[in-house]
Amino acid sequence: MEYKKLLQFPQKTGLYDPSYEKDSCGVGMVANIKGIPSRQIMEDAYLVNSRMDHRGGCGFEENTGDGAGILVALSHNFFKKISKEMGVKLPKKGSYSVGNIFLPQDEKEREFCKREIEKIVDSENQIFLGWRKVPTDSKKANVGPAAKLSQPVIEQLFIKSSDGIDQEEFERKLYLIRKQFSHQLRTNKKLTQASLLFACSLSSKIIVYKGMLTPSQLFPFFPDL
């Protein structure tokens, strides 16, 4: 069977009109009311997520979903360990951000996007720390062929706040950075895979892991979780 990349909505034809496409997410929430982080929260979130199959959709492949994700607090201990492997020293909690960014499959376009993002970080007087390719395991998650063909490259963007600003001001800077590069690059007519570029999140407080997955595929797909 031949599979084709689906990087954008199909053209309007017959009774189908892509303008009617809308997100309709099912949502589950797990938290410790005292704000105490623990692995148990993640385990409970995995259970909640795996029971949301009825809110998702599949095409002719049972293992190609229409999307699943999780928003979690940024784990300073986890990223401190990761940063050492990258050769980067992280500042104190709240003074840096990590964001999962979808990037083009094409290497030249991907590198162009990364350099442009770094320029925008610099233009907002924030400090670029580095990129980390997010580990994924499509085999363990049993991701379907159609989803794999459309899969972007997922990398994490690390940014340090400039001196003299508090966390809330840093969050506003991150919002501006994310909006600027999303708009500039996704509307760049020279990029053939501009539609693949997407910022899942960019924050000093939270991080989002998501993909064209079924709910039960999310955790196996991302070893970070």
Among 25, 58, 113, 200, which one carries the catalytic annotation? 25
198-199: strand order across its sheet: 127-133, 153-160, 96-103, 198-199
25 annotated active-site = yes
Tell me the β-bridge partners of 100: 156
| Alpha-carbon gap, residue 91 to 211, rounded angstroms | 29
What is the rounded (10 degree) CA torsion for 187, 175, 34, 25?
-20
- Exposure of 154 by Cβ count < 10 A (0-12 exposed, 13-18 middle, 19+ buried)? buried
What is the rounded (10 degree) CA torsion for 111, 113, 117, 120?
120
Q: Strand locations in 49-126, DSSP E?
A: 68-73, 96-103
Residue 70 near residue 207 (C-beta atoms within 8 A): no
Catalytic residues, which ones?
Answer: 25
